[in-house]
Structures are given as C-alpha cells and as structure tokens.
Structure 1
Amino acid sequence: MSSALPDVSVTDLASSFSPLQWVGMQGIDLPIRIEESTYLREVHARADVQVDLPAPHVKGIHMSRLYRLLDAWGQAAAVSPANLFQLLQEMIDSHQDCASRNARLRLDFDLLVRRPALVTDGLSGWKSYPVHLLASKVGGTLNLSIEVKIGYSSTCPCSAALSRQLIEDGFLQTFKGQPLLEASAVAQWLRSNASLATPHSQRSEARVRVAVPVDAPGLGLLALIDKVEGALRTPVQTAVKRADEQAFAALNGQNLMFVEDAARRIQASLHEYRETHVHVRHLESLHPHDASAWSVPQAPAH
C-alpha cells in the first residue's frame, strides 16, 4: 500500500466553479445526553451537520472532520446552548481551507418522560415527546430553536352542544306533563340516557417551536412542554385505572375546544418566549380529514 493515500477533494478542482450554500451529512446516529432539573437521560438522536462551501474551486469538504467533531461533542457533556455554539465554531474552524464561514446542526430525538396518572397514587407511565433542535451560525449570528410535538385530546364544542340538545329533548319527552319530579327518578333517567348522544373527540397534536436565547443555561424542554400541556389541560395519558379514565373524561368535558381554541391557548401561554410558532392538528373522528390551525409569530417579550 502507498504511504500517501490520494485525497481528490484536495488535489482535484471542482468540475464547475460555483459556491455551495450547504454541504455535509444527514441522519447520523448519535447518543446524546439531555439534562434538565431532575431529568438526566441518554437518548438516541439523529444529527444533520453542514458547513457552507463558498470557495468555488474546492471540490469537496472534509466530512470525516465533521463526523469526528460531532462524535466527540456527543460524548463530552449534556446538550446546552453553550456547547452547541462551540461545536458550530469548531465545524467552521475545521474548514478554513474551504473558506467556510457558516455552520448548522439539526438534532432529532424523543424525550421520554415518566408521567403520573391523574388520580391513582403511585401509578405512572412513559410518554414520548419528539424534539427537533436547530442550531446555526450564519454571518456571525447564532440562532437556536427547539420544536416539540405534544399529544392531547380535544372534544368538539359544537358536537357537545348538539349532544346536549338531544339529551334535553329526550328528557323533556320522557317527563312531559309531570309537574313534580323525584330526584331519584331524574338520576335513574340520567344513568340510562345521559349518553344518549356523545360529542366526538379525537387525539390531537401540537407542534410548538420557540427560540432559545444564546445565553440560556439549558434548552428548557420540560418547561416548554409543561406550559403547553397546562394550557391545553387534556394531555394524553399513559397508565390509567378507571378512576383516572373518569377524571380524563371530566377534563375533556370541562375543556371543549375547536382547533382555533387550542392554538390560541397555546400561543397565550408562550408570552415569555421569542419567535413562537404553533401548529395544531385535530385528527378528526367525524371526518376523514384533519382540522388544523397555525399561529403567527409573536413579538419578543419585554
């Protein structure tokens, strides 16, 4: 074997002289550590890493350099804004021979969190929250955002009103002409007929993206998730007994919402965040299509 292996990315010129906005790799398997308050867990992530290639004559970047930097970074410490930006700078520095000035990183992973049952003491289960993290350094400006998908239940207010009307009509028809009613008779009728009509509800999902300040001590994933679930008030459950299922039914009955209501509730809960984007989908049980709503980004909090 030759002692000097060929490297055509260095010795050959590009076939067409033109700069490229981004060059790199996608879908790199990587273990990373996520640490937030009492939460510390190693998760499986998939990473995309790229730098720009402004030098038109350079045939290709050095992808092995990016891979080695990413691999070492994943083993070093829990993910934070500070070490994300340090990694981006190291990516740029590693490609000075390509005149690179910009770098970006995307991480996709699931945040697995144990959630307690609504009522039953000691009962809990695992809930997964898909996360997309985007970090970049472009033109000397650092940017970091996180997007989380959160599942919840939604019960249609219109369907609930129509159902109540049917129950009301049934009640009036049954007790028509009876001036006095015994409470026990009413209770018996309700036990048999209160579900004469039931409103439709569906599993729903919210995708929430916010900017993370450059100087933030952490990502704030759990805080963001808790704010959204607190605004919606009907997050999907994991382990349940009958008492928990009943409590969940009560929450849905007390929190009727159109897709517009859900989007507005979430947006109102995010007043302290910057560059908030909200997309909600109600995966309809009435229709073969979904109902969706998007919110406009809000002005920075002061």
Structure 2
Amino acid sequence: MLRYDDKQTLEPLPPSGQNGGRKAYLFRNTDGAEPVIPRVYDAHFRPDEAYRASLPDMTETVDAVEGANVPIPQVGIAGFRLPLRFAVPSGEPLLLEARVTGTVSLEADLKGINMSRIIRTFYARKEAIFDLDTLAQVVRDYQRELGSLSARVRVAFSYPMLVPSLRSGLEGYQYYDGRYEAAVEGSGPVRRYVELDFVYSSACPCSAELAEHARDVRGAYAIPHSQRSVAHLRVEVAEGARLHLEDLVHHAREALKTEVQVMVKREDEQAFAELNGVYVKFVEDAVRLLYARLVADPRIHDFQVACAHLESLHAHDAVAVIAKGVPGGFRPDFTDFSSLVR
C-alpha cells in the first residue's frame, strides 16, 4: 500500500502493526494503542441551568449564513406525528394520528430556526380537543415563539365516519383524508383552511347513451363505463365561522350522490348501479355540482375544487379544476392530479 508524505510523493505504508506513531481517534490501533477519544456514554449525567446556558446556539451566531443572504418564506418541519383528540360535531372526540407540517419565515442575516419549538408548541396543547380554532391558537404561539413574521401549520389525518349501506341495513367505516391548516402574516388575522379528498363513482353520460343506442337499435347488450373518481376540496373558512371536515363530506355527498360504498350485499350493489344510472356525470359536471354546493354555504369564504376521473376507457384520466373566483383568492391552478389516485 502507498501513502502521501508532506511533499505529496508516494511512499510505501509501514507493515501492519508498525504505524509510525499515527493516532487512532475512535478505535484501538493495530499496535495495541488505545483510542484518543473514549466512546463512553454517561447515562447518569444531568445538565443544570448553568450547563444549559453554556451550550452553543446556532441561532445566535453572526456571519454564519451560507449561500445567498436572503429571506426564506418557509422553513420548518414536515412529517411530525402525534396523536390528537379531534372534535366531532356530536359525540366523544376521536383520537387520531396527526401528521404535522409547520413552517415560519426566516429573515436575512439569521442562520436558522429552533425547530424543536415547533414540536413543543404542539405538545403544549396535546390534551386539548383539537379543531380549527385550536390550530389557530397553535399557529399564533408558533409565530410568537420563533419570532417570525409569518407562520403556517398544517395537520393531516384520516377521519373515520360510520356509513350505512344503501339497502341492506349494514354499516361500515369510511375513512376520509382530511387536512386542517392555519396561517398568519404579521399581525393580520389567522386564516383557516379545511381540505377533503372525497372518493366517488362516475358513470360516463356519453357511454351510457351509446350503450342504450346499441340496445335499442341493434339489440346489443352493452355496459357503460364508470370509474373510481376523487374530488379534492380546499376551502377557506370565513372569519368567525365554524366548519368541520364532516360538513365538507356532507356537501360532497349531496353534490355527487355516488360515494363509494363500504358494506355491500347484492341489494346494495344493485342500488349503487341504479344511483350511477341516475347520476351520470362528466368531470365537468362534478366540479360544477360541487361549486353549487360550496358557493351556497356562507361559512365558506373561498374554495378550490379539483376532480379526477380515473378512466376505465382510457389510459389517462379526465380532470377539471374550478375556484370560487374571490379577488386575490384561490385560483384554478391545481396540477398535482397524481396525488388523487386511489
């Protein structure tokens, strides 16, 4: 084996066990020399206040910024999990796994933020009954604790609701992917948002007409195509209003009529086929039906709806996006349709 000396010329390494006095910092060397640094964890050490005060803090450093010394609109954590007791419109709170994303703004000249404070802010309210108002309080605490101009917290969860079958009298739990979000800029009001992914069936009106034509004109039996479909609803709650995820579920059910089923016997499957026959819909119909429901709810200040019909006829999907049209509000610019695939 070869090594470089100080003059950058190659020379042979000494034989094993004759290391020429080279140190091994973490491990015992081949000649039996002990490591320079002992790797021993002191499980009994307990820091006092003076020790804590002596610890270096990167947020207090100066001239430490790497790269462009510019503000960062969002910096924080994503994927932090904890159990929260979610408020329900009626009955006992539900203990659900929550997945938290929390960010704040960071001004120029500052190295970074204390990210553990994001987690501590949530744990300070871990016993509270969680709803949008609780989240609004959390985001205010979050902004104050980190001394930031803006702050945003998003909580994602899977929300169970007991749903009856169409005709058999059975019932089962439907799970809804939901998100609560709160955001604040400076001393402005906290803006609150609710999101829902709603899964339904969509039977194609054109295919239904063509199938009936084949039966009527040629006596040919044909089945119209339908597919599993997803509506993504994002709404901003009006200031002072209260809105629950279940309210959005109700709007989606009433607008679309063909939610996928949980418990199904033969009479339920037949009923579902009849529902799809009555409520055939293009993706264009779906977003307009949802628009009509949401725009009529005074608790909803603004909204965006994105629908994806996961086609059984094509190898691609049919999609549509619509927004309420509030000046400066949501725009119909949703593009992440792959996230709606179920």
TM bucket normalised to smaller:
0.7 to 0.9
Q: Distance in 2 between matches of 1:114 and 1:155?
A: 25
1:143 aligns with 2:196: no
Equivalent in the alignment of 1:185:
none
Equivalent in the alignment of 2:293:
269
1:235 aligns with 2:259: yes
SS in 2 for 1:76: coil
1:10 aligns with 2:66: no
1:128 aligns with 2:175: yes
Equivalent in the alignment of 1:119:
167
SS in 2 for 1:36: coil
Q: Which has the larger Rg? A: 2
Equivalent in the alignment of 1:254:
278
More helix as a share of residues: 1
Shift in Å, 1:64: 1.6
Letter in 2 for 1:8: M
- Structure 1, 5-14 or 282-291: larger mean CA deviation: 5-14
Shift in Å, 1:169: 2.0
1:93 aligns with 2:144: yes
CA deviations on 1:36-75 (whole Å, 9 max, x unpaired) are 2225311111111122222x333221112221111222x1
1:204 aligns with 2:204: no
SS in 2 for 1:295: strand
Shift in Å, 1:299: 4.5
Asked if the contact 2:232/2:306 (under 8 Å) is kept, the reply is: yes
CA deviations on 1:112-157 (whole Å, 9 max, x unpaired) are 1111101112x11111111122210113232111110000001111
Q: Distance in 2 between matches of 1:292 and 1:85?
A: 33
Asked if the contact 2:173/2:262 (under 8 Å) is kept, the reply is: yes
Q: Distance in 1 between matches of 2:89 and 2:256?
A: 23
Sort the Cα spacing of 1:78 and 1:298 in 2 relative to 1 into closer, same or farther, 3 A. farther
CA deviations on 1:58-94 (whole Å, 9 max, x unpaired) are 3221112221111222x13122333222211211221
Equivalent in the alignment of 1:58:
110
- Structure 1, 125-134 or 283-292: larger mean CA deviation: 125-134
Asked if the contact 1:28/1:47 (under 8 Å) is kept, the reply is: yes
Report runs of 4+ in structure 1 exceeding 3 Å deviation: none
TM-score by length of 2: 0.74
TM-score by length of 1: 0.84
- Alignment RMSD, CA only? 1.9
Question: Superposed, which structure 2 residues align to 1:66-105 within 5 Å?
Answer: 66-73=118-125, 75-96=126-147, 100-105=148-153
Shift in Å, 1:296: 2.7
CA deviations on 1:236-294 (whole Å, 9 max, x unpaired) are 00011111111111100111111111111111111222211111111110000000111
Asked if the contact 1:81/1:214 (under 8 Å) is kept, the reply is: no
SS in 1 for 2:207: helix
Runs (5+) with no aligned partner, structure 1: 172-192
How many residues align? The count is 270
Structure with higher RCO (Cα < 8 A, 6+ apart) = 1
Sort the Cα spacing of 1:108 and 1:86 in 2 relative to 1 into closer, same or farther, 3 A. same
Letter in 2 for 1:276: F
Asked if the contact 2:203/2:227 (under 8 Å) is kept, the reply is: yes
Letter in 2 for 1:138: E
Shift in Å, 1:101: 2.1
- Structure 1, 242-251 or 10-19: larger mean CA deviation: 10-19
> Out of 71, 79, 84, which is 1:19 matched to?
71
Asked if the contact 1:113/1:127 (under 8 Å) is kept, the reply is: yes
Q: Distance in 1 between matches of 2:82 and 2:265?
A: 37
1:282 aligns with 2:329: no
Asked if the contact 2:89/2:244 (under 8 Å) is kept, the reply is: no
Shift in Å, 1:12: 4.8
> Out of 323, 332, 341, which is 1:296 matched to?
323
- Structure 1, 154-163 or 290-299: larger mean CA deviation: 290-299
Sort the Cα spacing of 1:287 and 1:70 in 2 relative to 1 into closer, same or farther, 3 A. same
> Out of 32, 35, 46, which is 2:84 matched to?
32
